Structure 1
């Protein structure tokens, strides 16, 4: 309970050193809060101001990432096949029946242009090979290459340079066997050297199934004792010009054998 003191009484108590504690009037006890004032009804004469609500911002949606561009797949392509190495083929018709044509003189007019065949070239040469033009042994590209090879050996100066063409296919069955025709030709011509060009010709005349590399490396002997050498055929050399040096080495070995025999 608080004392009701007038101004004179309060002054006397202060002079005596007594502190007067007096409660604040009820009306001023507590000022209404802002919330209470806003909550008062508008009937008291004060318009109620409604606080505008903050706009509700919808929660941010996660941004959909654009899909990475898909690289256009190229259809798989087969790797190019490596180019086949040029090898001496056995020949698609090697197993077919073969026949040996009668010998043909390649340079029959050589004796009229000179005083006679060179002694170092021997008594004559027999060249056995396959060609797409049996009637014209020196025809076509392969024939021209063979002509150049023989001229490099100086065989164009020898009138007894003969060609025996080996042919396979229809009609060969009615011809004499290769070995019989070969023996007859050797007995007639009696050459100093036999050149056998190509794997097919070598297997048909030598009756030897070894690969061309081994056939080229050795000196052979025909049934009558005539020496023989094996080399590449001209058609193959057109496809593999890098082998021309090896072919020339084969021909030089044959020349050396004939020259050595002539000196004996």
Structure 2
């Protein structure tokens, strides 16, 4: 026979140290409890499977795309059409060439005394007029390859040792029209200042302009001329001899002619 103790009785027995066992539940109650537990377990298992299925659906059905920055490209500005080339204006003459029918103007640069420290008393006086580019008006006489060649030519003629004075002046051809009497006046003043025994004109165009001659340069070379009453010899300029070194022998012949004329006048 089992004892059915109420809670108050069980508490009193525990206080006295008596261990009381709980009687088993009736079989009917155990079966009901088992069914309830099984039902809860099935529900939990179903709920667990559903939750897993839902998570898989969320991953498969709604993947999260990675964020991609949006770059807005501005439209490139339209390239302007190239303007058509300008047609030459026939009314405006070119600055690189003189007007039709006009003679190019020559400018005489400032004269410089060469080899002053070695000038020989009683030696011949020389005036060297050399066809030169515009830059030569401000550049030293013996600058660059052409300047060194000019120095070698004058030294070969012993102007650095035997001459009484060597005056050098560049001649620059300008692309504007000008009167020849202006050039003649400038040359006259220079000749009166230098009082040369011989004038050496270097350069084809310069020689034709100073002598006012249209003869080929080959005929102007090799014979004496006169410039404002002074003996004059023409020869090749140094830049030309750099381009055509085969004509250096002709230039030496011209120097020898000039040295002979200078010796007579000294």
TM-score where L is the length of structure 1: 0.56
Asked if residue 134 in structure 1 is aligned to residue 142 in structure 2, the reply is no
Whether the 8 Å CA contact 2:222–2:253 is kept in 1: the answer is no
Indicate the residue corresponding to 1:220 in structure 2. Answer: 225
Q: Equivalent residue of 1:208, what SS?
A: coil
Q: For structure 1, which runs of at least 5 residues remain unmatched after alignment?
A: 1-91
Q: 1:105 to 1:159 in 2, by over 3 A?
A: farther
What is the aligned length? 163
Indicate the residue corresponding to 1:101 in structure 2. Answer: 109
Asked if residue 149 in structure 1 is aligned to residue 146 in structure 2, the reply is no
Aligned partners of 1:207, 1:102: CA distance in 2, in Å? 22
For the aligned residues, what is the CA RMSD? 2.6
Aligned partners of 1:227, 1:174: CA distance in 2, in Å? 24
How far 1:93 sits from its partner (Å)?
6.6
Q: For structure 2, which runs of at least 5 residues remain unmatched after alignment?
A: 1-95
Asked if residue 200 in structure 1 is aligned to residue 205 in structure 2, the reply is yes
How far 1:150 sits from its partner (Å)?
0.3
Q: Equivalent residue of 1:97, what SS?
A: strand
Between structures 1 and 2, the one with greater helix share? 2
Indicate the residue corresponding to 1:57 in structure 2. Answer: none
Whether the 8 Å CA contact 1:107–1:156 is kept in 2: the answer is yes
Q: Equivalent residue of 1:161, what SS?
A: strand
How far 1:222 sits from its partner (Å)?
1.2
Aligned partners of 1:193, 1:97: CA distance in 2, in Å? 24
Aligned partners of 2:221, 2:157: CA distance in 1, in Å? 18
How far 1:176 sits from its partner (Å)?
8.1
Choose the corresponding residue for 1:110, options 118, 121, 125: 118
Q: Equivalent residue of 2:256, what SS?
A: helix
Between structures 1 and 2, the one with greater strand share? 2
Q: Equivalent residue of 1:145, what SS?
A: helix
TM-score where L is the length of structure 2: 0.56
Q: 1:187 to 1:261 in 2, by over 3 A?
A: closer
